[in-house]
Amino acid sequence: MKTLKLHCEKVIQLLNTTYSNQLNYSGVIKKIYDSVNEIISAKTNLDKSIDIDWDGLVRTFADETMDYTSPIIFELETIKKLVKEK
């Protein structure tokens, strides 16, 4: 769980640094931000986060930002893998 939260915190940091303006509006950036914050807030129950369509978030992020090599994509893929292991 600790490793999962570290990757979530990294996504939050990257979003705050790179896409801070988009966090004020609905869209994939805000959805990613809210989803990883949900995991950070969870104590032990990850039931809600398991229902998140991580592949869809990654695909939509890449399509909207046109940044196919963003470290955010790598972090989201790692989070998806860690959530599946829980």
Report pLDDT digits (tens) over 14-51: 999 999 999 999 999 999 999 999 888 876 566 554 57
Percent of the chain with pLDDT over 90: 74
Q: What pLDDT is recorded for position 29?
A: 96
Asked if the model's pLDDT at residue 83 lies above 90, the reply is no
Helix (H) or strand (E) holding 86: none
Strand, coil or helix: 1? coil
Taking all residues of the chain, what is their mean pLDDT, rounded to a whole number?
89
Query: What's the domain range around 42?
Result: 2-85
What does the DSSP assignment read for 10-74? HHHHHHHHH-TGGGGSSSHHHHHHHHHHHHHH-SS--HHHHTS-HHHHHHHHHHHH--TT-HHHH
- As for how many domains the chain has, the answer is 1
Q: What is the dihedral of CA 6, 10, 15, 18, to 10 degrees?
A: 170
